Amino acid sequence: MKFNTFPDRDRVWQDMEGGNDGTWDAVIIGGGITGAGILREAVRNGYKTLLVEQRDFAWGSSSRSSKMVHGGIRYLASGNISLTRHALQERENLVRQAPNLVERLGYYFPLYRKRFPPGFAAGLLFWLYDLLAGTRDHHRVDNDQLSKVFRELDTSQLNGAFYYTDAVTDDARLTLRVLQESVRHGGIVRNYTRANRLIKHQGKVSGVLLEDRETGAELEIRCNVVINATGAWADRLGNTALAGMKIRPQRGSHLILSAERFPVSHAIFILHPEDGRRVFIYPWEGRTVVGTTDILHDKNLDHAASMTRDELVYLLNAAGQLFPGRPPAESDVISSWSGVRPIITSGKSRDPSSASREHQVWVEPGLVSCSGGKLTTFHTMALDVISRAKPFLPARPEPSDNEIFRRPEFSGADVLPGEVERGNRLLGRYGDDAVELINDAPQKERTSIPGTSTCLAQVRWAMQREAVVHLDDLMLRRTRLGLLLANGGEETLRDIGTMVRELRGWTDEHWESEKDRYRDIIRTYYTVPGSAGN
């Protein structure tokens, strides 16, 4: 029984060339979490919908975020109760609907002496934070209790901390899971398919000219509405002036360290010694992450973002406060990543950290565009976009529920008897497909790759079912091996190469070309600046 697999890319193109038995209701441009969420709502409402992505699914911000599903305590502190409330509601929905993919995590908010907020104000802030979320998770700890959680933390300038909870996820797998749910309900998706231009008729957008980036073939697609969900790139298709706004690309960079050498069991804010900004240090996928920076990104958006040397030094200095006895050095960094967030501004503020994380939707005849927002609120954004698109779409009955994910039929014990925790993890990432994923793989591929929770069975599944076109799709987004293992997971490539040549018929020449491409991407975008070969 097959559940949420992606359609064959070549078959999708052939069907589109054949006319696909009429006009599409909607074509969504953009395969990140925003586009995925909009597709889920479109098919849930019964619309015949196509989603295209010019690179790979989750290639941009949606695989390079801070991985946090959170309400945003600083947004609440600045008085934005509405944004925080919506984000906390969505956090709780995702924790409930996507267990083992969106996971609750304990956070510590240190109270610095002679720094805002004082303890009583912070207590009120966290009380309101929990009230808006419908939880009761926060409590205050003293320095002795804090030192038991973070053994090397210098508490001499602290008045204890507040403990509270938010959540973390694998952002790329969350995006893929939403796409999988959409496909299961009739949505069509295709990566490496670029929207070259909009087609207009009598002043209204009526379709889009698509290009297969692998072959160069072009195809005109007709539809009732085009939805522009391209994030930081949204002003290339939509007229942002109509919304009285500008999109400011903003870069956030992160470091991954070994959890054995730099262990943390919870997330913590650290006040940076240079500028007083709060930097997170938190556990993720068996590693320790340090991030994020917050910098105006004025480079070419057609190239992936990468960390600068100044950002590297900045983050290492922040981490040194948590591990003063053995501060992390460049040689301790396993990998890095940088993502670009689309920040909505009026064009007046020059402080990137003060810009709003709320989304904006604007409408032109036959075109609905969306930008801004954040990972946590992708569902709210999708509901807003579909509501604004409905005047262009045929009438449909309102859906009977508002669920993003269907309830699993299996348990972790059904997936991996004897390894329930790993089985639950696979259910979180693949839904009920996890059972078939394991059953379809040889026994030797079911064991975790050393240093990760990923197994070769997941590699096999991705190559067969998840529209992998290039090796970096597999290593950086379908799995996270390229981020979690030294040298981009170079030691795993031999076994993976044998498998993909068998499954996909890649020639030795093709495989060597893919390895060269992948190694170049790792050197350029995922290692620390100034390292060997970078």
- Tracing tokens 């949606």 back to the chain, one arrives at 62
The pTM score is 0.95
- C-alpha 105 chain-centroid distance: 17
- Name the strand (E) or helix (H) holding 347: none
Q: Tell me the three state secondary structure of residue 98.
A: coil
Confidence at residue 351, expressed as pLDDT on a 0 to 100 scale: 52
CA–CA–CA angle 299, 301, 302 (5° rounding): 120
Spatial distance between the Cα atoms of 114 and 216, rounded to a whole number of angstroms: 61
Cα Dmax for the chain: 71
- CB-based contact 226:51 (threshold 8 Å): no
Confidence at residue 282, expressed as pLDDT on a 0 to 100 scale: 98
Tell me which amino acid residue 178 is: V
Confidence at residue 405, expressed as pLDDT on a 0 to 100 scale: 93
Spatial distance between the Cα atoms of 487 and 331, rounded to a whole number of angstroms: 12
**What number of H helices and E strands is found in the chain?**
17, 18
- Tracing tokens 């609440």 back to the chain, one arrives at 76
- Tracing tokens 């490496």 back to the chain, one arrives at 192
- b (16+ CB within 10 A) / e for 199-234: beeeeebbbbebbbeeeeeeeebebbbbbbbbbbbb
Torsion, CA 178, CA 94, CA 102, CA 97, rounded to 10: -80
Q: What CA–CA distances, in Å, run from 33 to 121, 196, 407, 463? A: 35, 21, 20, 21
Spatial distance between the Cα atoms of 370 and 361, rounded to a whole number of angstroms: 4
Number of other residues whose CB lies within 10 A of the CB of residue 71: 27
Task: Record the tokens describing residue 258, joined without a space.
Answer: 């070994």
- CB-based contact 246:346 (threshold 8 Å): yes
Strands 68-69 and 158-169: antiparallel
Positions of E strands within 236-332: 246-258, 267-271, 278-284, 287-291, 295-296
> If we measure between CA atoms, which residue out of 470, 480, 398 comes closest to residue 45?
398
Confidence at residue 356, expressed as pLDDT on a 0 to 100 scale: 57
What's the alpha-carbon Rg for the chain, to the nearest Å? 23
Q: Tell me the three state secondary structure of residue 364.
A: strand
Q: What CA–CA distances, in Å, run from 303 to 89, 298, 390, 521, 524? A: 34, 12, 34, 11, 10
Give the pLDDT of the chain (534 residues) as one tens digit per residue.
344 479 889 999 988 876 656 689 999 999 999 999 999 999 999 999 999 999 999 999 999 999 999 998 988 888 889 889 999 999 999 999 999 999 999 999 999 998 888 899 999 999 999 999 999 999 999 999 999 999 999 999 999 999 999 999 999 999 999 999 999 999 999 999 999 999 999 999 999 999 999 999 999 999 999 999 998 888 888 777 776 778 889 999 999 999 999 999 999 999 998 998 999 999 999 999 999 999 999 898 889 999 999 999 999 999 999 999 999 999 999 999 999 999 888 655 455 454 556 889 999 999 999 999 899 999 999 999 999 999 999 999 888 888 899 888 999 999 999 999 999 999 999 999 999 999 999 999 999 999 999 999 999 999 999 999 999 999 999 999 999 999 999 999 999 999 999 999 999 999 999 999 999 999 999 998 875 444
Q: Tell me the three state secondary structure of residue 410.
A: coil
Spatial distance between the Cα atoms of 236 and 222, rounded to a whole number of angstroms: 20
3-state helix, strand, coil in the chain (%, to 5): 40, 25, 35
Facing residues of 422 across strands?
none
**Which residues fall within 8 angstroms of residue 247, CB to CB, at 6 or more apart?**
232, 234, 235, 240, 342, 343, 344, 345, 371, 372
Spatial distance between the Cα atoms of 63 and 36, rounded to a whole number of angstroms: 13
Confidence at residue 513, expressed as pLDDT on a 0 to 100 scale: 98
Facing residues of 455 across strands?
448
Spatial distance between the Cα atoms of 21 and 15, rounded to a whole number of angstroms: 9
- CB-based contact 48:187 (threshold 8 Å): no
